[in-house]
Structure 1
């Protein structure tokens, strides 16, 4: 399997939301990545079913920013002078993995697997003041480099019991990690040069799946528990060796636990009409979370809510399909609800999202590989914050999710008759 991606983007942001050139930025980013994956699967006798493989990843990006903000005015620089941070970042990674099922008998199966990963990241970050936009460097702000490399082995083990063809009971234990990295938003050389480490999680899950009424009804329930160590948090911290005096960086700042239940029911009401319902309950809390605040004191944040961790969620989905002419017509509607949650690590009021639901719908017609589709998203035009963050400790802003959207789509899938 080979993958390649190349993208260029530009973003203009006016953080102060006024017609005064107080704090605005232009961001230009070039990104390129390649990936390669090879898998080999097979059988050993009639007891072992396995897959082994390898993975290669390479990515690089270049980010150029142009900031027009009040610090240039405070320094009595000519109008139009800008701060110009630049970031060059490279990532190289490789991994080998395996997974094997050992079939004891028709009812019991053991699954063992693992993945070994090595990663290496390098970053150069610098900034200078452009004199009145003329390209004359008069104040170098900073110039620093950082690098880091990590290697991790993450195992997985699962046991499943199938009492009959309609039911499955399983238990799974797995370990995972979120990659370490470098602070591409840092302004202080000390933060740019120091990498943050991977975030680790141990996962436990006990579940049951069943089918009823000759496969017209499917049900499943899963109970899970997760332990996070060295959890990565994006926080605002003091930066005495930077011009701004503070910065947003990623730190291994917390430990947390999460537990919950997931339920799912899917029913074939009539031929062509399927209705699905799912529900999730989540209990997430910090066990430890301490940071050094902008004023230099130590703050215990373990009483805060984790970001994007609503206590409960549910969804209802309905799909009706009917043969018409040479193809199949379908109508689909989905309603998804999320309980309230936080989007900022410090649980700021401007980042709080109240419980809300989103309604999507679509109508389509498919024939001989072609599909024509009319769709609508967020049909009730629900206002909900998608993200929020502070800017330089002076003010904050939030970005809302997409409003009501509708559109048409025509697609073709090769190999479908």
Structure 2
């Protein structure tokens, strides 16, 4: 098999400084697969993939925060929302984008995001009769070299070059029972190994336009310098796992799973300025992060159309070392594992002669020692730090439904309700206790209607109308109003013709049909007086051609 993809566009935002369109997309990908069966009991699947991105780094919109007058000052001391873009507020250099155009900006330099990915894997399945032996071997590497005009302004206030390389080798071996159709016990057991190396040499060029004010051309005390933090992190991971499904009764099945994981990490770090002319901090550390995780579950088949289930899962996210810009040894103290206890109950059903599929679930997540990115002021500059800052509780429910209304019309819909809040959480003197987790809308909804109309001469007309809704979200732990996005609806449509044999399909599409503009994320750099707003892509219209083989 072979699959490929090429995606390009000319950009969606106009840069008034250069006259170019920015935020352009330019990438391609390919995947090759080969299946080899040297024996009727042995099957080997080989895959190789490649991804190449030569597009542009995201260029956000600039929103100035420092008020110039008392009238323009909000309750938090920053620019009042009614004065955004008025010219009565500016960033640390006094600049403000005042044209009110969400699809235009002033950037002295345009970012690039060069990414190269490669992966190869081999999975061998050997049927030994009652059991099978499965081996999965994989290797991958990733290279990134990205330049980001972070401040998104005509001045050189903050520019970042991300430079990273990663190599990873994994090997999994497992034994598993074969399904003979009447066994009450089904099981799998195995081991996993990973060897990974990550090298990073990213650089932050801060306040370059102020360099002429200092005799040496830079000043660490005023954060006027190019700061870099090259490091190498090596990880060796080991895991042993097993899971069993046992049929307690004719329609009742229990699941028990257990896994032990250990990550041996070594960290060689240096924080420096001006290309290594000044070394701020060095650190060499090693630590092993380990934990048990597992699963318990019950599944009851009420009948052939309805299943009920209840599960408990304990998982963890491995601890590690903070790889950002650090100026004190305390910032490099390893953060611990994050633990999650997840409880879920639900049902899966196919009703009315399988014309309706209905799935419902309710869940409760309990996070302990949650790993949280938080802003901190270091030497006058706002930076992100990662630490075990909080515990949180998440309650939610989901409903998914598919209905075949007629021979030609089907409708899909989904509704999600979420209550996600921090427990006790103090960071840099701020109290975030009870705040909502970032990017956690209380309500999301999606629906799609799919219609197929047979043609007398053969083939079909096919069409889809879809809509998605998300309630308000916050982009920061503080839940500040300026760092949020109100509820939004997005609608799309597609119409086309499909050949009688189903192999060829062509048509037209519209994404974001009503051209809604909304914020996808916000990065706030309070110390420099700027919010950086990443917006969604505008309405796009186009044609498509598909060939299935």
TM-score bracket, normalised by the shorter chain, equals 0.7 to 0.9
> Is the 2:196–2:235 contact (alpha carbons within 8 Å) kept by the matching residues of 1?
yes
C-alpha change, 1:172 and 1:387, in structure 2 (3 Å) is same
C-alpha change, 1:154 and 1:322, in structure 2 (3 Å) is farther
- Counterpart for residue 259 of structure 1: 395
Q: What is the CA deviation profile of residues 236-286 of structure 1, one whole-angstrom value per residue up to 9, with x for unaligned ones? A: 2354xxx55664211111111111211122101122432111111112222
Decide which structure has greater strand share.
Answer: 1
| Matches of 2:172 and 2:217, distance apart in 1 | 53
**1:399: Cα distance to partner?**
1.5
C-alpha change, 1:333 and 1:289, in structure 2 (3 Å) is same
Alignment partner of 1:173 is 2:309: no
**1:363: Cα distance to partner?**
5.2
- Counterpart for residue 183 of structure 1: 322
- Counterpart for residue 312 of structure 1: 443
- Counterpart for residue 141 of structure 1: 280
**1:410: Cα distance to partner?**
6.3
Structure 1 unmatched runs, 5+: none
Which deviates more from structure 2 when the two are superposed, residues 98-107 or residues 153-162? 98-107
Alignment partner of 1:236 is 2:370: no
Which deviates more from structure 2 when the two are superposed, residues 148-157 or residues 3-12? 3-12
> Is the 1:144–1:192 contact (alpha carbons within 8 Å) kept by the matching residues of 2?
no
> Is the 1:362–1:375 contact (alpha carbons within 8 Å) kept by the matching residues of 2?
yes
| Matches of 1:118 and 1:369, distance apart in 2 | 48
C-alpha change, 1:363 and 1:270, in structure 2 (3 Å) is same
> Is the 1:148–1:182 contact (alpha carbons within 8 Å) kept by the matching residues of 2?
no
- Counterpart for residue 514 of structure 2: 380
The alignment of Structure 1 onto Structure 2 pairs a total of residues equal to 401
C-alpha change, 1:314 and 1:98, in structure 2 (3 Å) is same
| Matches of 1:24 and 1:191, distance apart in 2 | 26
SS in 1 for 2:347: strand
TM-score w.r.t. length of structure 1: 0.85
> Is the 1:350–1:398 contact (alpha carbons within 8 Å) kept by the matching residues of 2?
no
> Is the 2:307–2:349 contact (alpha carbons within 8 Å) kept by the matching residues of 1?
yes
- Counterpart for residue 111 of structure 1: 255
**1:139: Cα distance to partner?**
2.3
Which deviates more from structure 2 when the two are superposed, residues 165-174 or residues 342-351? 342-351
- Counterpart for residue 162 of structure 2: 27
Q: What is the CA deviation profile of residues 282-314 of structure 1, one whole-angstrom value per residue up to 9, with x for unaligned ones? A: 1222221112x2xxxx33210322111111111
- Counterpart for residue 98 of structure 1: 242
Q: What is the CA deviation profile of residues 193-217 of structure 1, one whole-angstrom value per residue up to 9, with x for unaligned ones? A: 3111111111111112222211001
- Counterpart for residue 2 of structure 1: 137
Of 360, 376, 387, the match for 1:221: 360
> Is the 2:380–2:527 contact (alpha carbons within 8 Å) kept by the matching residues of 1?
no
| Matches of 1:276 and 1:216, distance apart in 2 | 12
SS in 1 for 2:329: helix
**1:170: Cα distance to partner?**
1.2
> Is the 1:315–1:336 contact (alpha carbons within 8 Å) kept by the matching residues of 2?
yes
- Counterpart for residue 196 of structure 1: 335
SS in 1 for 2:527: coil
**What root-mean-square deviation, in Å, do the aligned CA atoms of Structure 1 and Structure 2 show?**
3.0
Q: What is the CA deviation profile of residues 41-66 of structure 1, one whole-angstrom value per residue up to 9, with x for unaligned ones? A: 21597210112233333333333233
SS in 2 for 1:169: strand
| Matches of 1:358 and 1:378, distance apart in 2 | 6
Of 213, 227, 232, the match for 1:88: 232
- Counterpart for residue 37 of structure 1: 172
| Matches of 1:124 and 1:406, distance apart in 2 | 49
Which deviates more from structure 2 when the two are superposed, residues 54-63 or residues 343-352? 54-63
Which deviates more from structure 2 when the two are superposed, residues 187-196 or residues 166-175? 187-196
C-alpha change, 1:355 and 1:7, in structure 2 (3 Å) is same
SS in 1 for 2:513: coil
C-alpha change, 1:373 and 1:115, in structure 2 (3 Å) is farther
> Is the 2:349–2:359 contact (alpha carbons within 8 Å) kept by the matching residues of 1?
yes
1:261-280 correspondence to structure 2 within 5 Å: 261-280=397-416
Structure 2 unmatched runs, 5+: 1-135, 219-223
- Counterpart for residue 355 of structure 1: 487
Alignment partner of 1:67 is 2:204: yes
> Is the 2:369–2:388 contact (alpha carbons within 8 Å) kept by the matching residues of 1?
yes
Q: Give the greater-gyration-radius structure (CA).
A: 2
Of 329, 335, 345, the match for 2:477: 345
Q: What is the CA deviation profile of residues 359-397 of structure 1, one whole-angstrom value per residue up to 9, with x for unaligned ones? A: 234457586877767654333332222222233732332
Q: What is the CA deviation profile of residues 75-117 of structure 1, one whole-angstrom value per residue up to 9, with x for unaligned ones? A: 5433896333323333332322222111123221111112221
C-alpha change, 1:184 and 1:411, in structure 2 (3 Å) is farther
